[in-house]
Structure 1
Amino acid sequence: MPSIFISGAAQGIGRAVAERFLAEGWTVGAYDIAPVTYTADGTPRTLITGHLDVTSAGDWDAALKDFTSHTGGTLDVLDNNAGIIMDGPLRDADGAGVAKLIEVNCTGVTLGARAAHPYLRRTAGAQLVNMASASAIYGQPQIAVYSATKFYVAGLTEALSLEWRRDDIRVLDIWPLWAKTPLADVTASSTRRLGVRLTPEQVAETVWQALHPRNRWARGRVHHGVSTLDKVLYLGRSLAPDRLARLLTRVIAG
């Protein structure tokens, strides 16, 4: 069976991705700093769970070693899903909270990619998928640090998509708007003006489709939107001059 390792899989989008791939018969590794309490229903579904602090290189090495002991040492997909958020004006932000947010969302994703590379390299057609965000289309006020970390994820994804080509590892990311998870429980104006409409299952379905491209053109895509709105916003930003993009973001985010 093909295998996928998911960080931040205890709840929300991570759990939805785990359940989507379990339904397709994959061997799923659901790891998190919080306990993973759900189980796989029926056979031949295989769910491996474990502890993972994504900010620890040692934890990444141990978790991937544990999971791949069930897969013959190979890994088809790493889903760098784990992430946290904080909101409010940057001037009022707790310094330790800012550092932790950057550590989880940036360092965690980077350490995950680094640790997974040896396993992905030995698996034909392996893929790395990172969880970015529509907040990386243009920097978002009130969630400025979170938004900036997603720019980092997008940049890392683009760089690795080129760096890992010789190893036959496809690298991509997912850019959803607000989804109905604890991550959306913030006071950012965009949650009110755009709404929190996506479900974790919709994002999980986009992950599934992105990892199973229909043709060569689809396989070449690096950034993947989820809803029609975030796709339109992404396209608009790519075509609009900075002044117009800034104005549109002011209207949306306030």
Structure 2
Amino acid sequence: MPSIFITGAATGIGRAVAERFLAAGWTVGAYDINPVTWSGAVHTGLLDVRSADSWAAALADFHAVAGRIDVVDNNAGVIVDGPVAAADPAALQRLIDVNCLGVTLGARASYRYLRGGGTLVNMASASAIYGQPGIAAYSASKFYVAGLTEALGLEWRKENIRVVDVWPLWAKTSLAEVEAVSVRRLGVRLTPEQVADVVWTAATARGRWARGKVHYGVSALDKALYLGRSLAPDRVARLLTRVLAG
């Protein structure tokens, strides 16, 4: 049966993705820096996404159980809110290490398993539509994820590896427990299960047209914001972001 390896799977969106694929009969590897204890039906293990050695060991461990890895879901991420000028340097370093280095090391380690038809799903964010004040470092890290997704989609095309990402607005997880203005103005409306459904759609796309899609929105609002940003001049996009998030 097909299999998926998921990072950050102890809670939140990662857990919801694991449950979604488990319900569809997939072999699921749920890995996290914290123990995954919510189900005995998934294969679990510890993973520090900041470590290349940890990635290599975790993927090899799951491959030994599943016999194949069809999808890797680069889901793990952290957030820092508040003004950058007042941020703890150690917290910023951790954010960049998890959200940028961790995603990159995950892609690098997954390459050998996904060659020939696999899919890498990276967790981006609607905060990558335009840089978000109050969560500037987090927002910038998701721009990185989007750029990495696009570049690897081209770099790995001849290896028949699809690389896609998912761009949700705020979902009902601990990541949304911040003081960002956009949380108050836009609300926290998405559930982890809604995001997991889009991960499922992205990972199981069939047909040349569907498989050519790279960036996946989740709600009607984030899709509209993404489309609007692609059409709007910078001055208009900046003004809209000030209204929604500034």
Q: Map 1:117-196; keep pairs closer than 5 Å.
A: 117-121=111-115, 124-196=116-188
Structure 1 runs of 4+ aligned residues shifted over 4 Å read none
Letter matched to residue 64 of structure 2: S
Q: Return the alpha-carbon distance in structure 1 between the equivalents of residues 72 and 206 of structure 2.
A: 20
Aligned to 1:80: 74
Aligned to 2:13: 13
Letter matched to residue 47 of structure 1: V
Matched, 1:49 2:44: yes
Q: Return the alpha-carbon distance in structure 1 between the equivalents of residues 205 and 186 of structure 2.
A: 29
Aligned to 1:64: 59
User: Deviations for 1:101-125, whole angstroms, at most 9, x for unmatched residues?
Assistant: 000000000000100110111xx42
Matched, 1:112 2:106: yes
User: Deviations for 1:140-184, whole angstroms, at most 9, x for unmatched residues?
Assistant: 000000000000000000000000001000010000000000000
Q: Return the alpha-carbon distance in structure 2 between the equivalents of residues 9 and 98 of structure 1.
A: 22
Q: 2:219 aligns with which of 218, 227, 239?
A: 227
Q: Return the alpha-carbon distance in structure 2 between the equivalents of residues 69 and 76 of structure 1.
A: 14
For structure 1, the 5+ residue unaligned runs are 41-45
Q: Return the alpha-carbon distance in structure 2 between the equivalents of residues 119 and 211 of structure 1.
A: 15
SS at match of 1:179: coil
SS at match of 1:69: helix
Letter matched to residue 116 of structure 1: S
Q: Return the alpha-carbon distance in structure 2 between the equivalents of residues 114 and 213 of structure 1.
A: 23
Q: 1:246 aligns with which of 204, 222, 238?
A: 238
SS at match of 2:50: coil
Cα drift, residue 47 of structure 1: 1.4
SS at match of 2:66: coil
Letter matched to residue 24 of structure 2: E
SS at match of 1:70: helix
Aligned residue pairs total 246
User: Deviations for 1:9-38, whole angstroms, at most 9, x for unmatched residues?
Assistant: 000000000000000000000000011011
SS at match of 2:35: coil
Aligned to 2:91: 97
SS at match of 1:209: helix
Q: Return the alpha-carbon distance in structure 2 between the equivalents of residues 189 and 109 of structure 1.
A: 27
User: Deviations for 1:114-140, whole angstroms, at most 9, x for unmatched residues?
Assistant: 00110111xx42100000000000000
When normalised by structure 2's length, the TM-score is 0.98
Cα drift, residue 211 of structure 1: 1.6
SS at match of 1:141: coil
Letter matched to residue 150 of structure 1: K
Cα drift, residue 218 of structure 1: 1.9
Letter matched to residue 9 of structure 1: A
Cα drift, residue 216 of structure 1: 2.3
SS at match of 2:45: strand
SS at match of 1:108: helix
Cα drift, residue 214 of structure 1: 4.9
Cα drift, residue 213 of structure 1: 2.2
Q: Return the alpha-carbon distance in structure 1 between the equivalents of residues 227 and 59 of structure 2.
A: 36
Cα drift, residue 203 of structure 1: 0.1
Q: Return the alpha-carbon distance in structure 1 between the equivalents of residues 71 and 235 of structure 2.
A: 39
Aligned to 1:197: 189
Letter matched to residue 66 of structure 2: T
